[in-house]
Amino acid sequence: MAIRLGQLIEQLGGSLHGDPDFLVQKISPLETATPSSLAFLSNPLYRSQLATTQAGCVIVSPEMQSSVPAGSACIVSSNPYLYFAKVTQFWRQQQVAADRDALVHPSAVVHPQAVVHPTARIGPLCLIEKGAKVGAGSWLKAHVTLGADCTVGEGCILHAGVVVGADGFGFAPIDGRWEKIEQLGAVRIGNQVEIGANSCIDRGALEDTVIGNGVKLDNLVQIGHNVQVGDHTAMAGCVGVAGSAVIGAHCTLGGGAIVLGHLTLADGVHISAASVVMRSLHKPGNYSGVFPIDDNASWEKNAATLKQLHGLRDRIRSLETALESSQK
């Protein structure tokens, strides 16, 4: 596939300095770009790569335009990284448009009472159960399962192996055994949501599990039953959110972070990777809960010291009390 630079400018704007008929055959990093590639520079720290790149065209800011090698075209944008993102979207749209003859793969199983928008794409071996709905322009890639009565909004991407609407983990302890609590809710996914490979979103126990508009979930993310995730929140790989937690809008959770059940995170909360959230966070900000890495011997000493902090606190209080008494 190839796209003319002029076509990019017509679709995305920007200021082109070069031949509008130049054909871009690949989008590449600066260091591996070829003369038929389009690359970008957004971070000034990589300015040295701009001087040596072989890219036929580079997306740059106005401040970097003078550093573009002679003979290379450039697209000048106030935000090169955003422009690059939009180029990748346009590139994907052109690829999809070239393959419009199989919007629902023959191996997919779609229940007669499911509703799939005519512009949605359903990949190989997908399962769309009774009452499920897939919105306009959404793309369910291979082996995606959309459970009964669950809804995917418009413009969403669900990568391979995603399961939406499996039963939540609900069991009642009775006389040393577990009695299943049927999960009677569903899952509602908003518009422009992207869910990474092999992630799971459980259906609600009574009410629905809700994923807001613009949410981005990485691979292997687990969302428990009754969870609510606010608009434009992003979670990196292996995040786990336990049942009935409420995550606000515009939050980020680093890889491997855990949020315990029934907690609330305010809008604009940012959790560092591998942190365990054990209490609700009602104010926006950055939060970390990870003991810093160290060599094992030092880590064990510090861990042993932490275990003694409570006792040390009591001893200090006793010393302060004795000192105050002696000064009277």
| Choice between 276 and 292, residue whose per-residue pLDDT is larger | 276
Look up residue 180 and give its amino acid. Answer: K
Give the pLDDT confidence score for residue 325 in this predicted structure.
Answer: 85
Low-confidence winner among 94-98, 154-158, 291-295, 304-308 (lowest mean pLDDT)? 94-98
Mean pLDDT across 276-295: 92
Give the pLDDT confidence score for residue 186 in this predicted structure.
Answer: 98
Please report the sign of the dihedral spanned by the C-alpha atoms of residue 231, residue 233, residue 238, residue 244.
negative
Mean pLDDT across 7-32: 96
The residues, any chain, with a CB within 8 Å of residue 127's CB and separated by 6 or more, are 108, 109, 144, 145, 146
Give the pLDDT confidence score for residue 100 in this predicted structure.
Answer: 58
Looking up tokens 């459970």, which residue turns up?
Answer: 147
Give the pLDDT confidence score for residue 114 in this predicted structure.
Answer: 98
Mean pLDDT across 305-317: 89
Does 225 participate in catalysis according to the annotation? yes
Please report the sign of the dihedral spanned by the C-alpha atoms of residue 17, residue 23, residue 28, residue 32.
negative
Mean pLDDT across 304-324: 89
Maximum separation of any 2 CA atoms in the chain, in Å: 91
Listed in sequence order, the DSSP H helices in 75-218 are 80-97
% the chain with pLDDT above 90? 85
Burial of 245 (0-12, 13-18, 19+ CB in 10 A): buried
> Nearest-CA neighbor of 53 among 29, 87, 85?
29
10 Å Cβ neighbour count for 130? 11
CA angle 132/138/143 to nearest 5° reads: 65
Is pLDDT above 70 for 307? yes
Average pLDDT, the chain: 95
In CATH terms, the superfamily for domain 3-97 is: MurE/MurF, N-terminal domain (3.40.1390.10)
Give the pLDDT confidence score for residue 181 in this predicted structure.
Answer: 97
Is pLDDT above 70 for 281? yes
pTM of the full predicted structure? 0.87
Q: Given 225, 270, 282, 310, which residue is catalytic?
A: 225
Structure tokens at 10: 């017509």
pLDDT confidence bin for 38, thresholds 50/70/90: very high
Concatenated DSSP letters of 304-322: HHHHTHHHHHHHHHHHHHH
Is pLDDT above 80 for 47? yes
pLDDT confidence bin for 265, thresholds 50/70/90: very high
Structure tokens at 166: 């499996």
Looking up tokens 């031949």, which residue turns up?
Answer: 19
Mean pLDDT across 254-262: 98
pLDDT in tens, 53-109: 999 999 999 999 999 998 899 999 999 999 999 999 999 888 877 665 569 999 999
> Nearest-CA neighbor of 200 among 176, 178, 224, 183?
224
pLDDT in tens, 165-213: 999 999 999 999 999 999 999 999 999 999 999 999 999 999 999 999 9
Integer-rounded Cα radius of gyration of the chain: 26
The full set of domain ranges for the chain reads: 3-97, 109-287
Give the CATH architecture of domain 109-287. Answer: 3 Solenoid (2.160)
Give the pLDDT confidence score for residue 303 in this predicted structure.
Answer: 85
Give the pLDDT confidence score for residue 283 in this predicted structure.
Answer: 98
Q: How far is CA 223 from CA 52, 122, 164, 277, in A?
A: 45, 23, 10, 15
pLDDT in tens, 208-237: 999 999 999 999 999 999 999 999 999 999
Mean pLDDT across 309-320: 90
Give the pLDDT confidence score for residue 98 in this predicted structure.
Answer: 63
